[in-house]
RNA sequence: GGAGACGUGUCCGAGUGGUUGAAGGAGCACGCCUGGAAAGUGUGUAUACGGGAAACUGUAUCGCGAGUUCGAAUCUCGCCGUCUCCGCCA
């Protein structure tokens, strides 16, 4: 959530920046400023009246102690009158604050200066590419056939047990998942990220904290009996570790990594997008998260992009890095880089990571702050990225490395998988 | 799930209706003391919002929410959480 004071001081800039994200309800910005004006007015009125009540109450106490009943009674009468004003003021104050927050929650984060204009993925900018696209045999198979051929994943079984989009990994397929998770976590902890194993369900407050609510309500599975949400990414529970926290400047940066299954309803998806591993309701992912000094978040974003790139390189997969345009970015992000790997048999790029700087948008909701050198409390910046999401990595590994007699795994995985080939 | 106890600041801990935003202690920060340190000693040490150039100041906050009262950390109700015992259980 943007800070009201920032909006007040930078009204025109806010509107201009929001346009880059194709957010055109500019009236909302002025509504927010007007509501904030009203809030101040009402609060001043309330504070003044309450101050008088408080001081009168103290005086009443003094009179009572001295046994001056008449004086006390006179003051009580005055307070009674004041109180008839206070109740409506208080109601109005709560009301205005609530309306202000509601409006503020509707404003997406402002895109940073580097974000290109554009409405659709075609406007994303390819920052760089790496790896070599393999040349496959005529008889090469898409991953959903390879997983059957080598008995790695049973999609139909998952449909029977739960529903479509909930695959069952079997044998080598299950082991490959485990190997990848282990490898990714080790890779991240070696770079100084502290490993977490968080809850896979969160309460409403946490879902608001990272911005899943109220924006993406329909995308999360919801356990109504307990009012819990199944996490769509480890970002949610792990970033909330620092909700309502004031850190010391020396504690920064906070670097965390976590494996978790991710649950996504993916309402509205269909067709070739959801074939095989391309889009699932439940999948495995390892996430990296940093909470940093606001002056550092730009450079930390680059650091995280380089980190993920190094990891992808170690898997010998052809990849490219995209700088997302305003229209393709998430609600909470100020700048996002997507990583895609080339899935050779499908002949298409698949997103396997998304690295974003949220600046103070999440931390403002989370109230995650730090005390600076001058003893002033300010908001930290938060960033996160996938490192990495498994299914599409698996799809690409299988398709790109298939040979007549099996699938050759990249050297980085041999130790973890316990073999060089899937046969 | 049942019964009971409890929930105060960074931590420990006092506080059962009236200058209590909160005693006391510890920790931490800065200073004095010291050759240096320890000990000792002095000062400071919550957050949010409003007003103010600032000093400072008003309001709110003692798990959360509502209520009683002129006045609530203190009384009442609801919720959440923790602990103990019982039940159940991987």
Considering any atom of strand B, list protein residues whose CB lies within 7 Å: A 5, 39-40, 43-44, 46-48, 50-51, 53-58, 60-61, 64, 76, 79-80, 83, 246, 369, 371, 377
Q: Are residues A207 and A344 in the same domain?
A: yes
Q: Which pLDDT tens digit goes with each residue over A56-108?
A: 988 888 888 777 888 888 888 888 888 888 888 888 888 898 899 989 999 99
For residue A230 the two structure tokens come to 């199944």
Asked whether residue A143 is domain-assigned, the answer is yes
pLDDT band at A22 (very low <50, low <70, confident <90, very high): very high
Under 8 Å CB-to-CB from A302, ≥6 apart: which residues? none
In angstroms, rounded to a whole number, what is the distance separating the alpha carbons of residues A361 and A166?
Answer: 33
Sign of CA dihedral A191, A194, A200, A205: negative
Find the Å distance, CA of residue A354 to C1' of nucleotide B88: 44
The CATH number covering residue A212 comes to 3.30.930.10
Asked whether residue A21 is domain-assigned, the answer is yes
Are A379 and A369 spatial neighbours (Cβ–Cβ below 8 Å)?
yes
Provide the pLDDT for residue A69.
80
Q: Are residues A164 and A275 in the same domain?
A: yes
Q: Are residues A280 and A355 in the same domain?
A: yes
Asked whether residue A115 is domain-assigned, the answer is no
Final residue before a domain boundary, out of A53, A73, A106: A106
Find the Å distance, CA of residue A57 to C1' of nucleotide B76: 22
Indicate the DSSP class of residue A115.
P
Q: Are residues A221 and A368 in the same domain?
A: yes
Name the percent of chain A lying above pLDDT 90: 73
Q: Are residues A70 and A150 in the same domain?
A: no
Q: Which pLDDT tens digit goes with each residue over A173-211?
A: 999 999 999 999 999 999 999 999 999 999 888 998 898
Asked whether residue A233 is domain-assigned, the answer is yes
In angstroms, rounded to a whole number, what is the distance separating the alpha carbons of residues A240 and A382?
Answer: 11
CA closest to B51 C1', residue = A44
Beta bridge partners of A370: A247, A378
The HSE-up count of residue A223 (CA atoms within 13 Å, CB side) is 10
In angstroms, rounded to a whole number, what is the distance separating the alpha carbons of residues A301 and A140?
Answer: 38
Asked whether residue A22 is domain-assigned, the answer is yes
**Is A270 a residue whose pLDDT tops 80?**
no
Total domains in chain A come to 2
**Nearest nucleotide over every DNA/RNA strand to the A49 CA, judged by C1':** B59
pLDDT band at A375 (very low <50, low <70, confident <90, very high): confident
Final residue before a domain boundary, out of A106, A133, A164: A106
Find the Å distance, CA of residue A288 to C1' of nucleotide B63: 32
Find the Å distance, CA of residue A222 to C1' of nucleotide B87: 30
Q: Which pLDDT tens digit goes with each residue over A302-322?
A: 999 999 999 999 999 999 999
pLDDT band at A272 (very low <50, low <70, confident <90, very high): low
Q: Are residues A372 and A344 in the same domain?
A: yes
Asked whether residue A116 is domain-assigned, the answer is no
The CATH number covering residue A12 comes to 1.10.287.40
Are A118 and A327 spatial neighbours (Cβ–Cβ below 8 Å)?
yes
Asked whether residue A112 is domain-assigned, the answer is no
Find the Å distance, CA of residue A36 to C1' of nucleotide B68: 33
Provide the pLDDT for residue A325.
96
Q: Are residues A37 and A101 in the same domain?
A: yes
Using a 7 Å cut-off to protein CB atoms, list the covered nucleotides of chain B: 18-19, 46-51, 58-60, 70-71
CA closest to B45 C1', residue = A375
Q: Which of A12-16, A122-126, A165-169, A242-246 has the lowest mean pLDDT?
A: A242-246
Q: Are residues A241 and A143 in the same domain?
A: yes
Beta bridge partners of A379: A369
DSSP, residue by residue, A398-409 = HHHTEETTEEEP
Q: Which of A154, A179, A150, A156 is nearest to A169 (CA)?
A: A154
Find the Å distance, CA of residue A46 to C1' of nucleotide B79: 28
User: How is the beta sheet containing A201-202 ordered, strand by strand?
Assistant: A201-202, A228-230, A222-223
What is residue A245's three-state secondary structure? strand
Final residue before a domain boundary, out of A47, A81, A106: A106
**Is A109 a residue whose pLDDT tops 90?**
yes
Find the Å distance, CA of residue A421 to C1' of nucleotide B86: 56
Q: Are residues A241 and A94 in the same domain?
A: no
Q: Is residue A50 packed enough to be buried (19+ CB in 10 Å), middle (13-18) or exposed (0-12)?
A: middle
Q: Are residues A132 and A69 in the same domain?
A: no
Report whether the peptide linkage leading into residue A139 is cis, meaning its omega lies within 30 degrees of zero. no
Domain with A263, as residue range(s), is: 121-422
Q: Are residues A99 and A193 in the same domain?
A: no
Average pLDDT over residues A391-408: 95
Asked whether residue A114 is domain-assigned, the answer is no
**Nearest nucleotide over every DNA/RNA strand to the A64 CA, judged by C1':** B18
Q: Are residues A94 and A167 in the same domain?
A: no
């Amino acid at each position: 959530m943007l800070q009201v004071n920032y909006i007040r001081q930078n009204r025109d800039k806010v509107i201009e920046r929001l346009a880059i994200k194709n957010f055109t309800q500019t009236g909302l910005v002025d509504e927010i400023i007007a509501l904030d004006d009203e809030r101040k007015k009402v609060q001043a009125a309330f504070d003044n009246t309450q101050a008088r009540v408080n001081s009168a109450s103290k005086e009443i106490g003094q009179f009572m102690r001295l046994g001056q009943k008449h004086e006390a009674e006179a003051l009580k009468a005055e307070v009674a009158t004041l109180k008839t004003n206070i109740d409506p003021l208080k109601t109005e104050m709560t009301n205005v604050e609530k309306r202000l927050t509601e409006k503020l929650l509707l404003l997406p984060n402002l895109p940073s200066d580097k974000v290109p204009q554009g409405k659709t993925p075609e406007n994303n900018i390819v920052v760089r590419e790496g790896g070599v696209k393999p040349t496959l045999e005529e008889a090469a198979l898409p991953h959903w056939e390879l997983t059957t051929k080598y008995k790695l994943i049973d999609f139909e079984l998952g449909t029977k047990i739960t529903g479509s989009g909930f695959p069952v990994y079997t044998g080598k397929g299950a082991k490959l998942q485990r190997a990848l998770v282990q490898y990714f976590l080790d890779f991240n902890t070696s770079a100084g990220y502290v490993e977490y194993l968080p809850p896979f369900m969160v309460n409403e407050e946490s879902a608001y904290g990272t911005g899943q609510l109220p924006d993406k309500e329909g995308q999360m599975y919801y356990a109504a009996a307990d009012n819990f949400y199944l996490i769509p990414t480890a970002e949610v529970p792990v970033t909330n570790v620092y909700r309502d926290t004031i850190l010391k400047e020396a504690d920064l940066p906070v670097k965390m990594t976590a494996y978790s299954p991710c649950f996504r309803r993916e309402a509205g998806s269909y067709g070739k997008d959801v074939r095989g591993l391309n889009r699932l309701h439940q999948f495995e992912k390892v996430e990296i998260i940093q909470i940093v000094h606001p002056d550092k978040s730009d450079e930390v974003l680059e650091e995280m992009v380089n980190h993920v790139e190094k990891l992808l390189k170690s898997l010998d997969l052809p990849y490219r890095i995209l700088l997302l345009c305003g229209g393709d970015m998430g609600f909470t992000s100020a700048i996002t880089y997507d990583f895609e790997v080339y899935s050779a048999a499908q002949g298409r790029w698949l997103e396997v990571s998304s690295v974003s700087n949220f600046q103070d948008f999440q931390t403002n909701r989370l109230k995650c702050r730090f005390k600076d050198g001058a003893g002033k409390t300010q908001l930290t910046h938060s960033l996160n990225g996938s490192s990495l999401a498994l299914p599409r990595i698996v799809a690409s590994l299988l398709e790109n490395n298939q040979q007549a007699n099996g699938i050759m795994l990249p050297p980085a995985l041999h130790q973890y998988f316990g073999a060089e080939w899937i046969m």
